């Protein structure tokens, strides 16, 4: 917008406080608010670059934004679009100054953002839930299959040229079958957390012959018996039940970790939890690395407490080297946090992050605002 009247016409559902703030910036000559973008957003980028009502400062390289660059360029910014590796804390707010009014992250998680600090300074925060549900559900099933069927070991033999000299035997590379069979007609899938992604994962598993589904929820939430009854009927499951963590560990043939990160869920899957699991069970984590104690999981695999693990996230990532205890475990399949890595999903995430940024920048609606 080139004038305050043009901007006012474009606003919808904004509070008087936000309007007052925006008008004060405009009256001070801030006709084109400055925004800092910490990564090129691919095909979604033209929707930003073609705007004439904002002043864009874009990190020019296809790698993690350097902290020094961000702190220098965020000065005077009204908005900033960040990724998981960009910490939004007191240091960044001090560098930005008082004009900052919106932070948009291209991620579902927002542990890198100091939310109490944002609330204190009346800075709105946008994130990108929902749009990656299907992609993460896909890769959750993929990792369950890979871990159960010894993909890491089997693939390395082919990759390293050892197939031709390998001595085949009837039970080589065998692992627990995901689907139900005549000899194993009951298959129980467990979920640590039962939100959108977990429910989408369950829908993908039903055709494999899954008969039982158990899950744990947040201690602060009440059981949703109406939803559970509807899901059980829809998927023709013998059991769909909320249980405690002890029963979840003991009964799950495949256990999916799909719970938020943070202090409340830190190392929920620890040595005590893993020791309760079945020896032929598989653990899959596609949510947050901090939920699973890596050292305990490595021990569980090495000492055969469980059969295998499929990981898209690991505590301490991306600083995961070849000497990491889980990388050394042949029954652990690990990929580098690619759960949302489809063209469709990443474009949707980038677009949502941009829409959040623009909505917050001009006092309008944000498609996904933290706390709303």
Catalytic residue among 121, 267, 324, 337: 337
**Residue 179 CA: distances (Å) to CA of 49, 83, 90, 185, 186:** 49, 37, 50, 9, 9
Give CA–CA dist 344/46, Å, rounded. Answer: 16
**Residue 127 CA: distances (Å) to CA of 253, 359, 367:** 33, 12, 9
Pairing of strands 102-105, 79-82: parallel
Q: Is 212 tagged catalytic?
A: no
Query: Within the chain, how many helices (H) and strands (E) appear?
Result: 14, 12
Which residues, 6+ apart, have CB-to-CB distance to 46 below 8 Å?
Answer: none
Which residues, 6+ apart, have CB-to-CB distance to 242 below 8 Å?
Answer: 194, 214, 215, 216, 217, 223, 228
Give CA–CA dist 263/89, Å, rounded. Answer: 18
Active site residues: 337
């Amino acid at each position: 917008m080139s004038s305050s009247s043009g901007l006012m016409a474009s606003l919808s559902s904004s509070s008087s406080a936000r309007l007052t703030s925006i008008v004060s910036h405009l009256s001070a000559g801030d006709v084109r608010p400055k925004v800092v973008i910490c990564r090129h957003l691919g095909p979604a980028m033209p929707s930003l670059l073609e705007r004439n009502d904002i002043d864009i400062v874009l990190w020019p390289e296809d790698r993690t934004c350097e902290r020094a660059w961000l702190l220098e360029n965020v000065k005077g910014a009204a908005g900033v679009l960040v990724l998981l590796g960009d910490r939004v804390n007191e240091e960044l707010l001090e560098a930005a100054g008082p004009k900052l009014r919106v932070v948009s992250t291209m991620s579902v998680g927002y542990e890198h953002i100091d939310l109490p600090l944002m609330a204190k300074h009346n800075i709105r925060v946008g994130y990108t839930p929902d749009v990656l549900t299907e992609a993460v559900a896909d890769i959750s099933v993929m990792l369950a299959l890979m871990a159960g069927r010894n993909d890491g070991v089997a693939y390395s033999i082919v990759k390293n040229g050892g197939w031709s000299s390998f001595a085949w035997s009837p039970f080589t590379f065998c692992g627990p079958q995901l689907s139900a069979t005549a000899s194993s007609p009951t298959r129980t899938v467990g979920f640590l957390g039962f939100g959108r992604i977990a429910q989408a994962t369950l829908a993908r598993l039903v055709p494999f012959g899954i008969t039982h589904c158990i899950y744990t929820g947040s201690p602060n939430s009440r059981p949703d018996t109406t939803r559970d009854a509807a899901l059980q009927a829809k998927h023709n499951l013998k059991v769909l039940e909320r249980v405690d963590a002890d029963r979840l560990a003991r009964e799950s043939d495949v256990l999916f970790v799909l719970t938020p990160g943070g202090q409340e869920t830190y190392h929920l899957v620890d040595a005590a939890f893993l020791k309760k699991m079945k020896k032929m069970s598989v653990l899959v984590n596609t949510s947050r690395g901090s939920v699973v104690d890596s050292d305990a999981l490595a021990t569980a695999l090495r000492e055969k407490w469980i059969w295998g693990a499929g990981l898209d996230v690991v505590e301490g990532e991306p600083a995961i080297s070849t000497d990491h205890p889980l990388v050394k475990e042949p029954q652990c399949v690990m990929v580098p946090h690619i759960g949302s890595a489809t063209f469709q999903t990443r474009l949707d995430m980038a677009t949502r992050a941009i829409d959040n940024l623009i909505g917050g920048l001009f006092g309008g609606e944000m498609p996904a605002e933290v706390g709303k």
